[in-house]
Structure 1
């Protein structure tokens, strides 16, 4: 990775959006990320960097071509050669969801003694949505790290998620309007989300290498491999090994040792 073209008009627009959003956050605007995206979009339209939508309303694409295909193809999916594929999808989805849920609930202050109350229900909800999405034939639905921006604005009870769901339903019919939400508009919001998440790193015990090294490996591997799951896998491999070296192997749950071999097999398969 190297420094990109910071003179590119779209890059300048993204930097403008980042600065505007940062100023509003510093000034205490609770919905700074949302208004930052609106200001960036309007600025992009006014400068000609973002074209106006071709239309306002459109009919959502039909689910007929994909609805229920996963069920009809189930016998083929259960073939032995598909087990690795199924495991990989399960692995990525589970750890993406786990990492996201832990990060967001940590930011919201829901963790108690580093444990998430009703974690079973949270993961169950995520898993159920993934199954329903597969039946509908859409892309996998799971928890998104962008929820951190809602938490930062004060969301705590889940009501904000209901409002988000209603807005998403409405935009099934207003999807042409989303043409103005380009990468230059979303990039500043995602950078701010990264800032919100980075605050959790202060809770890492950096003076103990058996914790610091796995944590750093996990953190740095996520952007370098473009995968939350890969970062978590490398961290899960490093942590038990370092605990064994230190002589604290009894403090590691036996399941962690099993996970080491599963993750190593996963990376060998990817290679």
Structure 2
């Protein structure tokens, strides 16, 4: 073989591996796109550790785990699928993990075990190719309601962390807190900054709002400056390899399994198709070629993250920001992951962010999740009532598991009495029976 022939067959580096020509992109565009995705998503480095700390997890360990899991799983997604999808801990799962399970006294090991099991089932579904079967089992209205209910759950957390809403033990209700306190005023300012930036479609607006709110908190005495802005990352030892899978296999944890699995599965499906449509990946039938690879990574990421007590890892819709900036390959995801890794050594900057600066993000994100309720069929009582019940009970009981369990039971009941029982797969009735048993356990323990 001649030298000339050999040089033609030799791989051409990054552009060859990521197929720049085929995807009509270049190195500069991919780098800018990756940094754009990072800018719109970096708020999770401020928000997630604070939420996990609310459940009793050491904040510095939570910060390290959040960054590492986001970076590692995103790099795998970029290398394996060559798609610009970025993963991170889903805020809904973080809220359930911290403020329902851990706050209620469920050990970290069991909470991580439940997450691991939800990921394991997702893995089986992905590798067995039964995605369409799962889509058919879960009623559309219930899927929508779960997301909306978790949204209210998150918004409630935000308002409570900000001190805007507090629990009144005497009346057993929620009341306004001290609206004259500096913490509340700072959170309100942060909230209006977020909706200002979001209304103007400012890329990275949420992290800008968090930064500005944190800076405003310095003269107000709320933000405490660290001794150093650069530090060795916190140890992940308090969170690593703590899961107890056997104890997590318990009927009382089944609703939380669904609370982790259903949003992850369906939000991943929606995100992959939505971002792919923007990127021009979909074929003439609206399908994403190679979607199985994306599901493999996303599902494995959840179980992998659980090994480090990290709530459900999921593909973020913020990946669309990178696509909007021209990103078309996995290099966009890898650049974003590299940017996340860079924050690893500036942990004091993120640990100094007060809850008054991150609470507005929860208030905004949680409230925004309610827009999905527009997709519920309000002309059909059998569809909209179970959905609304799921949302209401999630909020009133401050427990998404209760809302999901009640919705499935009522949905199955309505289908039976209306003579439309054949419209529902038989397995849903089995799940409804398990949910009834769940409520029995809750009532007797």
Report the counterpart of residue 259 of structure 2 in structure 1: 95
Superposed CA deviations along residues 136-182 of structure 1, whole A, max 9, x for unmatched, are xx22331469x45x268576878776555434433333221112322
Report the counterpart of residue 231 of structure 1 in structure 2: 403
Report the counterpart of residue 10 of structure 1 in structure 2: 183
Does the aligned pair in 2 maintain the 1:30–1:152 contact within 8 Å?
no
Does the aligned pair in 2 maintain the 1:110–1:116 contact within 8 Å?
no
Which of these residues, 289, 301, 310, is aligned with residue 140 of structure 1? 310
Alignment of 1:107-146 (within 5 A): 110=274, 124-135=296-307, 138-143=308-313
Alignment of 1:12-91 (within 5 A): 12-63=185-236, 78=246, 82=247, 84-85=249-250
Query: C-alpha separation between the residues in 2 aligned to 1:31 and 1:134?
Result: 28
Relative to structure 1, is the Cα distance of residues 226 and 58 closer, same or farther in structure 2, using a 3 angstrom cutoff? farther
Query: C-alpha separation between the residues in 1 aligned to 2:314 and 2:179?
Result: 28
* Structure (1 or 2) with the larger CA radius of gyration: 2
Does the aligned pair in 2 maintain the 1:58–1:174 contact within 8 Å?
yes
Query: C-alpha separation between the residues in 2 aligned to 1:104 and 1:189?
Result: 21
Report the counterpart of residue 166 of structure 1 in structure 2: 338
Superposed CA deviations along residues 166-216 of structure 1, whole A, max 9, x for unmatched, are 344333332211123222111111222123321111111112211111111
Query: C-alpha separation between the residues in 2 aligned to 1:7 and 1:267?
Result: 41
Structure 1 residue 96: deviation in Å? Answer: 2.1
**Structure 2: which 5+ residue stretches go unaligned?**
1-173, 278-285
Structure 1 SS opposite 2:175:
coil
Superposed CA deviations along residues 23-73 of structure 1, whole A, max 9, x for unmatched, are 222233233222211211111123322111232233234456775565xxx
Relative to structure 1, is the Cα distance of residues 23 and 67 closer, same or farther in structure 2, using a 3 angstrom cutoff? closer
- Aligned pairs, how many? 256
Report the counterpart of residue 199 of structure 1 in structure 2: 371
Report the counterpart of residue 218 of structure 1 in structure 2: 390
Relative to structure 1, is the Cα distance of residues 231 and 50 closer, same or farther in structure 2, using a 3 angstrom cutoff? same
Query: C-alpha separation between the residues in 1 aligned to 2:201 and 2:351?
Result: 29
With 184-193 and 260-269 compared, the bigger mean Cα shift is at 260-269
Report the counterpart of residue 361 of structure 2 in structure 1: 189
Structure 1 residue 253: deviation in Å? Answer: 0.9
Structure 2 SS opposite 1:46:
coil
Structure 2 SS opposite 1:2:
strand
Query: C-alpha separation between the residues in 2 aligned to 1:116 and 1:217?
Result: 33
Query: C-alpha separation between the residues in 2 aligned to 1:162 and 1:228?
Result: 34
Query: C-alpha separation between the residues in 1 aligned to 2:291 and 2:439?
Result: 27
Higher relative contact order (Cα pairs below 8 Å, separated by 6+ residues): 2
Answering whether residue 424 of structure 2 is matched by residue 252 of structure 1, we say yes
Report the counterpart of residue 67 of structure 2 in structure 1: none
**Structure 1: which 5+ residue stretches go unaligned?**
none
